Every structure is written in structure tokens, then in C-alpha cells.
Amino acid sequence: MTSKENLYISSTPDEVKNAPGLHLLTQNTPNGQATQILLEELAVKYGTKWTTTLINISTNVQKEEWFLRLNANGRIPTLVDNSKNPPYPVIETSAQLLYLLKEYDAEDTFGFKDELERNEALQWMFFWHGGGAPYQGQVNHFTRAAPEKIPYAITRYKNETLRVYGVLEIRLSGIYTGGQPRDYLAGAGKGKYSVADIKTWPWVKGWERSGFAKEDMDKFPHVLKWIDRIAAREAVQKGIGEKYVQS
């Protein structure tokens, strides 16, 4: 396990190394928003407290040594729990969500006590972590950031993203599981709002920004209702809101 002396160096910002408990280094991207949302939900439920450092990844501050000591991958979000001795860093949004569930969600409000339901949530988290997010991330890159437009790449990743949206539609529509629509991705019956939704929603709600048209999304009516259902939560709005936008 990393010692505090190896974790923090002289260039580590004081607000990071002197944080009394949970500290989140983030930017208001879909990945950042997932952890932001769960923290805001935990605050509503339990009064959980944390501090935040907003990172501007365009400056490459996340590639500096002090940051790489917290996250060797040099990515946001990065979560550090300074209440542990030594402080405990957590990389990758899915791992952060699961860490927060274990350490800070005593009642499994955003997880499940039943092992099969818990596994179901993991299935949908991993589905989006390994499939949906990479595909949609490539859509965003090739349509907005790439120095040249490559039609093959744009078409491939758009089609793959629409395909995984279709998987979510199958799940939420209940078409192959008795026909009863689901409200959420995991859990018995109509499901329960959980980390599976929190992981997935920040990406899918950005379909328009990713360049998809309303006609593309008309094929996924249950996904659109799911987007609106989650967006109505106060903690979700806080988790993507002005608090996390750099001035």
C-alpha cells in the first residue's frame, strides 16, 4: 500500500493533501459526473462530506508528477480518501462508485443487499464501462476533436453507440422479460435507482452533444424516459451543475 510520503509531494496542492476526508479531483465530464452524482446523492441520504479540486485537463495538469502519484493513468476523476491511514486513492469511476458504496452507503441505498441484484448492477456497470463509454467517447473525439474528419471512424463509432443504446432499450422496455417496462437498469421488478444508472446516465443524456439526431433517438423511447426520470433528481442536477463548472 502506498505511504503518505509517496502519495503526496511538495507540489501536491494543499487542498488535496490537507483534505480532512474524501477529496475528489474532477472535471465536469461524463466520467467526472458519475462520481459527482453519487457523492451528491450520499450527501442527501447521509450528510456525507467531501472537498473538490476542479481540474482543467486541457492544461495537462493531470500529467504532472503530483497527480500521477494519485492516479498513474493521469485521468479524472480521481478520488482520495484521506480518512484512511495512509490516504487511499481510487482511480476509475466504476471503482470509485463501488468504493463509495462499500465505505459510505451503509444502507445500500444505491446498491443492493441481495447478491443476485448486486451482480445485476455490476453487469450493467461493466457493460457501460467496457462498451458504451468507449464507443461514445470515440464519437465525441472523431466528431469534435480529431484534426481531420474520418468518415469511416465517425460512422463506425456512431453505429456502435446506437447499438449499445439499443441494448439499454431492450433492457428498459422489458420486451424479452415479460413486457413490463423497467424504470432502472438493475434490481427486481421495475428496478431500483442504483450505481448502474449513475454510471451510465451521464454519457447517454449527452446524446445530442455527441451528434445524434432526434430521429436517431426515437428508436429508444424507454431510454429517453429513463434519461428524464434520472434528470429529475435534485442530487443529479447538483452533481452536473455549477458547483463543478470552472469559472
Could you report the average pLDDT of every consecutive run of 10 residues in the chain (247 residues)?
84 97 98 98 98 97 98 98 97 98 98 98 97 94 93 96 98 94 98 98 96 97 98 98 94
Give the end of a domain, one of 70, 85, 109.
109
**Domain ends where: 58, 88, 109?**
109
89 and 119 both lie in a single domain: no
Cβ count near 169 (within 10 Å) = 18
Task: Indicate whether 73 and 132 sit together in one domain.
Answer: no
User: Based on the structure, what is the number of domains in the chain?
Assistant: 2
Distance, in Å, from the CA atom of 134 to the CA atom of 23, rounded to the nearest integer, reads: 26
Place of cell 442527501: 44
Give the three cell numbers for residue 129. 464501462
Give pLDDT, residue 136. 95
Sheet holding 22-26, edge to edge: 50-54, 22-26, 78-81, 88-91
Q: Are residues 33 and 77 in the same domain?
A: yes
> What's the CA angle centered on 232, arms 191 and 99, to 5 degrees?
60
User: pTM of the predicted model, to two decimals?
Assistant: 0.96
* pLDDT given at position 247: 81
53 and 94, same structural domain?
Answer: yes
Range of the structural domain that residue 127 is part of: 115-233
In this prediction, residue 36 carries a pLDDT of: 98
The CATH number for 92's domain is: 3.40.30.10
Q: What is the DSSP string of 114-160?
A: SHHHHHHHHHHHHHIIIIIHHHHHHHHIIIIISSS--HHHHHHHHHH
The answer to whether residues 138 and 42 belong to one domain is no
- Residue 34: what residue type? A
CB-CB contact of 220 with 161 (8 Å): no
Per-residue pLDDT, 2 = 65
Please give the pLDDT value at position 192: 98
Return the DSSP state at 78.
E
CA dihedral 88, 89, 91, 96 (to 10 degrees): 50
- Per-residue pLDDT, 66: 98
80 and 162 part of one domain: no
Judgement on whether residues 102 and 132 belong to the same structural domain of the protein = no
> 45, 49, 66, 133: which is closest to 94 by C-alpha?
133
Element (H, E) at 97: helix 93-104
| Closest residue by Cα to residue 224 from 242, 245, 207 | 207
Regarding whether 133 and 28 lie in a shared domain, the answer is no
Same domain, 101 and 143: no
